[in-house]
Amino acid sequence: MGVKYRPGKFIGPITNQVIKKSKQKSVSKTDKQPTYIREIELRYKKRRVKSDAPVNEPLTDPQKVYELFSDLQNEAKEKLITISLDTKIKPLCFEVIAIGAVNSVYARPIEVLRAAIPLNPYGIIVVHNHPTGDPTPSDEDEKFTSNLLINTKSLGLEFYDHVIIGHNRYFSFAERGVMQRLKSNIPV
């Protein structure tokens, strides 16, 4: 049961002074204005892809991811994309997380997971491009993937792969064993 303050009832000298002072205050114009709180509403856009793109198929290997996002090889700047996946490894959606420069893109792990969390996905795949055409990962790519592995593990998400797209080729962290090596370095 909550306690209610009633006028005329003893509530203590300090509280009584506060109540008296608050009654004497005049209300300013700013006090009458409404207060706002942000509401988040997710909206999805449809994007046309090639007719033979494996949109409704499980992304069971990096070749399918490459086929779906091969247009990234034509981009002049690095783009980072998160693909959210269901339990059958089918894409739920994807989000362009960040657009960087010619040789780098920056994003925090929370930004990578931002679109995925409301969908309650089973896992994610991260994709980005190297405009130079060489998909070999940099040290920063490996550090980023390692940090993302730690964050997805703590959230209970499966992080399947990080695919880097170059000119007519790709690099898959899972296919090359880098994901397994990074997973083994994560403390339990």
Domain covering 62-184 in this structure, CATH number: 3.40.140.10
Using alpha carbons, list the distances in angstroms from residue 43 to 3, 39, 46, 91, 95: 44, 13, 10, 16, 11
- Give the separation between CA 182 and CA 38, rounded to whole angstroms: 38
Q: Domain boundaries in the chain?
A: 62-184
Torsional sign, CA 88, 120, 55, 133: negative
Using alpha carbons, list the distances in angstroms from residue 141 to 10, 30, 63: 66, 49, 20
Task: Report the candidate in 107, 115, 111, 170 with the shortest Cα–Cα distance to residue 143.
Answer: 107
Per-residue confidence of the chain (188 residues) as pLDDT tens digits?
A: 555 555 555 555 666 666 666 666 555 555 677 888 877 776 777 777 777 776 788 899 999 999 899 999 999 999 999 999 999 999 988 899 999 998 889 999 889 988 788 888 999 999 999 999 999 999 999 999 999 999 999 899 999 999 999 999 999 999 999 999 999 988 76
Specify whether the CB–CB gap between 82 and 59 falls below 8 A: no
Continuous segment of H or E residues that includes residue 155: helix 139-155
pTM value is: 0.75
Q: What does the pLDDT read at residue 19? A: 62
Q: What does the pLDDT read at residue 143? A: 94
Continuous segment of H or E residues that includes residue 81: strand 79-85
Tokens of 6: 């009633």
Tokens of 137: 């990962």
DSSP per residue, 159-175: EEEEEEE-SS-EEETTT
Q: What does the pLDDT read at residue 7? A: 55
Continuous segment of H or E residues that includes residue 31: helix 29-32
Tally the C-alpha atoms within 13 A of residue 96's C-alpha that lie toward its C-beta: 12
